Structure 1
Amino acid sequence: MRIDIFTLFPEMFPMVLENSIVGRARRRGFLQVVCHQLRDFSPDRRGRVDDTVFGGGKGMLLTAEPFARGLDALCEHLGYMPYIVYLSPRGRVLDQQKARELSALPGLALLCGHYEGVDQRVLEEYGVEEISIGDYVLTGGELPAMILTDAVSRMLPGVLSEEACFEEESHYKGLLEYPQYTRPVVWRGREAPTVLLSGHHGNIEKWRREQSILVTQQNRPDLYEAYSKKLH
């Protein structure tokens, strides 16, 4: 899979992209990530990419043309137009199902906004999907782009050692993950659940499922309600 990121701050990405699971996926050839400096596609010789907002208001807005030029150049280079995502607080909130859907695509182009966002017309021109990482506002789309890249890359075939690595995680099947424990058996007077030390796989799986349901009910009743509806 290839992910192209259009940003004003490409220097923010190397530390994330070169380490941990994302870095390993890139080194093993499962993932290619290319960061593009948005100013390189500016029609202005000084590299300007923003302007004042029509109708008044504070702040500046990223203009449409630099993103359009960047996407057109990418399309010409690849021979196809990748699926385009604009990281935006007004978009659909990223969840595990969306990450799974995006991971099945051959390529993604991520647009990182800044200031007051981007001219709406470029989103409409290219049929861009807006995705948010939560109900709050950040100063730019770079951190959300890193999060989306991480969430998508770990779903790619071969990136994790076993499918179970992500199939048992929170959100994969609609429930949050069960509590986990390791040595020592007793830590500061707190003992790990006896069932996990029993070696009885059936009982362990039953306990884990019961705990997943309990944790989801307590921490995310909205998720549990959606999960319950699927069962009926």
Structure 2
Amino acid sequence: MSKFTVFTLFPEQIENALSHSIMKRAMEDEKLSLNCVNIRDFTEDPHGHVDDAPFGGGAGMLMQVQPIVSAFEDLVQREGRPDRVIYCSPRGKVFQQSMAMELAKEEHILFLCGHYEGIDQRALDILEVEEVSIGDYVLTGGELPAVIMIDAIARLQDGVLNKKESFEEESFSQGLLEYPQYTRPRSFQDREVPEILLSGDHKKIRQWRWEESLRVTKEQRPELYEKYREENPELFIEKKKRKRSKIKAE
């Protein structure tokens, strides 16, 4: 079972977002566990403050070192040190599917959610965080990035999705974007399901899906297409051979 701990000022935001659908079922089935820790519970300030003005001046407030470190020390004493500590930060390395697959191998991950203008650097140093971003933009807090990463990581765990194939053939898992998919009805407003998908020939269907993934990736994310092409030259050589054979047959 994978364990996720989240240090946050707004635990209900995390809990509400992950209390539905697949994530809810996974927690009920004990495939994963979620523990949200309210950082405010660990402040030593008599008024419950967890932030203060930054030294050196500047706009906004910073989350203080003491409540975060106290929360962390309490966690380590009770459960041991987490395998990874991730700080949701716009200055971190960008979260990708490959990172989700790497993190899915860990048993216990701690997410630290910042607010205001950020967190006192000493807290980040003491916790030995890895700074991770979900994109080149700034949000009001780290809760939404934490939810996104937890969802992406948790769904890779055994038993969370119904079938292993559910994530093995989707976008990014093989380096390409996912191929188009169709379901009933067969015809809708003069738009037909591709005939190959109705053929029952699974080998040809797999080939069609791969070629469609190539097409979609080339159109939508050309940099991913070129990377895939460089890493898998033999597949493109084989594709050219099949194309020549088809032309000769015709």
TM-score range, shorter chain: over 0.9
SS in 1 for 2:109: strand
Deviations 1:15-60 (A, max 9, x none): 2222111111101111000111110111212221111112221111
Task: Give runs of aligned pairs for residues 192-211 of structure 1, distance below 5 A.
Answer: 192-211=193-212
* 8 Å contact from structure 1 (residues 16, 22) kept in 2: no
Aligned to 2:43: 42
Change (3 A) 1:54 1:27: same
> Identity across aligned pairs (percent)?
49
The whole-number CA distance in structure 1 between the counterparts of 2:129 and 2:80 is: 18
TM-score scaled by length of structure 2: 0.90
* 8 Å contact from structure 2 (residues 15, 36) kept in 1: no
- 1:141 paired with 2:142, answer yes
**Unaligned residue ranges in structure 1 (runs of 5+):** none
Shift of 1:14: 2.6
SS in 2 for 1:152: helix
Aligned to 1:110: 111
Alignment size in residue pairs? 232
Deviations 1:3-24 (A, max 9, x none): 1101111111232222111111
Shift of 1:65: 1.5
- 1:173 paired with 2:177, answer no
The whole-number CA distance in structure 2 between the counterparts of 1:161 and 1:15 is: 23
- 1:69 paired with 2:101, answer no
Deviations 1:168-222 (A, max 9, x none): 1101111100000011111111111110011100110000000101111111112
* 8 Å contact from structure 1 (residues 5, 112) kept in 2: yes
TM-score scaled by length of structure 1: 0.96
Task: Give runs of aligned pairs for residues 58-137 of structure 1, distance below 5 A.
Answer: 58-137=59-138
The more displaced of 14-23 and 172-181 is 14-23
Shift of 1:80: 3.2
* 8 Å contact from structure 1 (residues 75, 82) kept in 2: no
SS in 1 for 2:128: coil
Bigger Cα Rg: 2
* 8 Å contact from structure 1 (residues 39, 49) kept in 2: yes
Could you tell me which amino acid in structure 2 is paired with residue 50 of structure 1? D
Shift of 1:227: 1.6
Could you tell me which amino acid in structure 2 is paired with residue 134 of structure 1? G
The whole-number CA distance in structure 2 between the counterparts of 1:181 and 1:50 is: 51
Shift of 1:126: 2.1
Aligned to 1:3: 4
- 1:230 paired with 2:224, answer no
Deviations 1:92-123 (A, max 9, x none): 11111111111110101100011111111221
* 8 Å contact from structure 2 (residues 88, 132) kept in 1: yes
Aligned to 1:52: 53
Could you tell me which amino acid in structure 1 is paired with residue 191 of structure 2? R
**Unaligned residue ranges in structure 2 (runs of 5+):** 234-250
Shift of 1:231: 1.9
Task: Give runs of aligned pairs for residues 144-163 of structure 1, distance below 5 A.
Answer: 144-163=145-164
* 8 Å contact from structure 1 (residues 61, 119) kept in 2: yes
